A and B are shown apart, each in its own frame.
Chain A
Amino acid sequence: MSVVPDEKAAVATTGVRAEALHFALRNGKLLAGLTVLVVLLVLGLFGPMVAAADPNAYVGPQFAPPSGEHWFGTTIFGQDIFTQFIHGLRATFLVGLLGGGIAAVIGMAIGFTAGYRGGIVDEILNMLTNIVLVLPALAVLLVINAYLGIRSIPVQAVFIGLTSWPWVARAIRAQTFSLRSREFVDLARLSGVRPWRIMTREIAPNMSSYLFMAFILLFGGSVLIGASLDFIGLGPTDSISLGLMLNNAARYNALHLGMWWWFIPPGLGITAVVGSLYVMNVGLDEVFNPKLREM
């Protein structure tokens, strides 16, 4: 056989990413999910620059169905739904990314540390996790709101992030716990690999799709929590989000009035964002797991 071991060995380290990319570019699910997500992201990022600056301005006729002038129609008060949608999309991404991101970082840090270290470290972190888990987030928010006031989307996202990580920490802890006892972790230790690298290079890659899935759920969760906070009047009042749009539509009986153009765009928007992330996750699973690749 003409395989040169050294080249192969080199490929084994530098090539993992290149190879993942190779399969990623050939994975339909991943590409489809990514396409939808990028389109929405671009719309949310750059749309507001092009469209009108104030999504809540009363610009058109009230109660108008979609037309050439108002693509998604107008609300019962005459606000342009397309403008609201674009601004709402941006807010939704912000809440999802920031809230989900903060929760994911905290959850992973605590989960990995507790699962890998075990013992007393695990017991303490586990106690902390359980305390936050049973904390009534809404009640705490009421108190915080009374003292500080949550008036901007980033602050809302940070709050969501700080309260929604416990289940991720628990799940990752359990996963880490079972992976840690696998013999390849022992072998890495025998190869002189440090704990931090074992966590990031040996354990985490085995859970990459799981971690991504957790992030997606956190992302979707943050969007939904944000929407419900908006609804009970604890959200930012002067901006707009997809959740706020849905709640407005519900509040003013859009369904009964037959104003499908009011609730379908934001509903579809949330579904598309979370759904495309989910499809991407399934695709990533196939990219990362060489066994699934062959099926």
Chain B
Amino acid sequence: MLRLDRVSKTFRTGSFGGRELHAVREVGFEVAQGEVVSLIGESGSGKTTLGRMILRLAAVSEGSITLDGVDIARQKDYYRSVQGVFQDPFSSYNPIFKADRVLEMIRQRFFPSMGAADWRARVESSLAAVRLDPGGVLGKYPHQLSGGQLQRLLIARALLLDIRMLVADEIISMLDASTRIDVLNLLGELKGRGLGILFITHDLSLGNYVSEKTVVLRSGRVVEMGRTELVFGNPLHPYTRNLLGSVPRLHRRWSEEEDAPEEEATCFYHGAAGRDATWPGLVEAEPGHFVGCATSGTCAPALELVR
């Protein structure tokens, strides 16, 4: 459905765009219907920039993003099919207006001629889909609602349209643990309804919980991607292993396991030595599991792959 093909983003910084910053480099993956793809990366990995490009909030520098084979830049009414929810529930709402204004904006733009009764039914059904009580959220100001309610209202807003794809950028990282899982389950239900979801997160355990596919991003490049159970069950790239090793887990302490060894200077991703090496792209290590390494001739994990 939604396909990214060698997508890059270059920001011009400095006065009159004197310097270049490569935020995203040659990223390619696909999100199918009824599938959650989690995009995992630390700060500065380019994950948010990717989400913004898919939402057309940032222009693509190189490569293409297509929806059903048509470039998204050329699609009319793109936002009827693709919508987004962002990290901070409190800054997603204009603080001086009531929270339900986000729903009304959808009506003005996309359903200008819909009758009051039809619209009411539509609002009620999408609120029901996110388990919000209409009386509890409509007519309230953002600061009167909880973070979980605000995020669910934003998902309800997206559901007012017959969207096929939702970009969820860190939508639960600011919520409390007890409400976080409910919003995550909601994403699971949405994929059951046939939506494709790009779940952007820095938290590996959350990504693992809901997603079918996982894409691990570092410094703008994909280091490893594939079916979630393969990426988590058999991480091949040292960066992924390190990341997984750093995730705090219940019932198992860090000290009980060895730190993943730092493979310095053998690979584009873990050392400065190979920085200028050309990137060979991703290697399919096993069916549905890709890993990227610049110096695959000398890099230990990459050698293992070839074998």
Which residues of A pack against B, CB within 8 Å? 1-6, 8-13, 16, 119-120, 123, 182-184, 186-193, 202, 205-206, 288-291
Q: Is the CB of B16 within 8 A of A186?
A: no
For chain B, which range describes its interface: under 10, 10 to 19, 20 to 34, or 35 or more residues? 35 or more
Which of B65-73, B130-138, B185-193 contacts its partner? B130-138
A-B contact count (CB 8 A): 106
Within 8 Å by CB of B139, from A12, A190, A191, A289, lies A12
Collect the chain B residues with CB atoms within 8 Å of residue A10's CB.
Answer: 116
Q: Is the CB of A184 within 8 A of B100?
A: no
With both beta carbons as reference points, the residue of chain A lying nearest to B102 in the complex is identified as A187
Given contacts A123-B15, A183-B88, contact A5 B96 (CB under 8 A): no
Q: Which of B111-134 contact A (CB under 8 A)?
A: 116-117, 119-120, 123-124, 127, 133-134
Within 8 Å by CB of A6, from B88, B105, B110, B116, lies B116
Given contacts A6-B116, A8-B138, contact A205 B92 (CB under 8 A): no
Collect the chain B residues with CB atoms within 8 Å of residue A184's CB.
Answer: 91-94
With both beta carbons as reference points, the residue of chain B lying nearest to A1 in the complex is identified as B135
Q: Is B84 an interface residue (CB 8 A)?
A: yes
Collect the chain B residues with CB atoms within 8 Å of residue A120's CB.
Answer: 16-17
Q: Is the CB of A11 within 8 A of B139?
A: yes
How many angstroms from the CA of A205 to the CA of B98 in the assembled complex? 13
Q: Is B106 an interface residue (CB 8 A)?
A: yes
Q: Is the CB of A9 within 8 A of B107?
A: yes
With both beta carbons as reference points, the residue of chain B lying nearest to A186 in the complex is identified as B57
With both beta carbons as reference points, the residue of chain A lying nearest to B97 in the complex is identified as A16
How many angstroms from the CA of A191 to the CA of B78 in the assembled complex? 10
Which residues of B pack against A, CB within 8 Å? 15-17, 52, 55, 57, 79, 83-84, 86-88, 91-98, 100-110, 116-117, 119-120, 123-124, 127, 133-136, 138-139, 141, 143, 154
How many angstroms from the CA of A1 to the CA of B95 in the assembled complex? 25
Given contacts A2-B135, A13-B101, contact A187 B120 (CB under 8 A): no
Given contacts A5-B124, A192-B110, contact A205 B96 (CB under 8 A): yes
Collect the chain B residues with CB atoms within 8 Å of residue A291's CB.
Answer: 95, 141, 143
CB of B110 to closest CB in A, whole Å:
7
Collect the chain B residues with CB atoms within 8 Å of residue A3's CB.
Answer: 134-135, 138-139
Q: Is the CB of A8 within 8 A of B84?
A: no
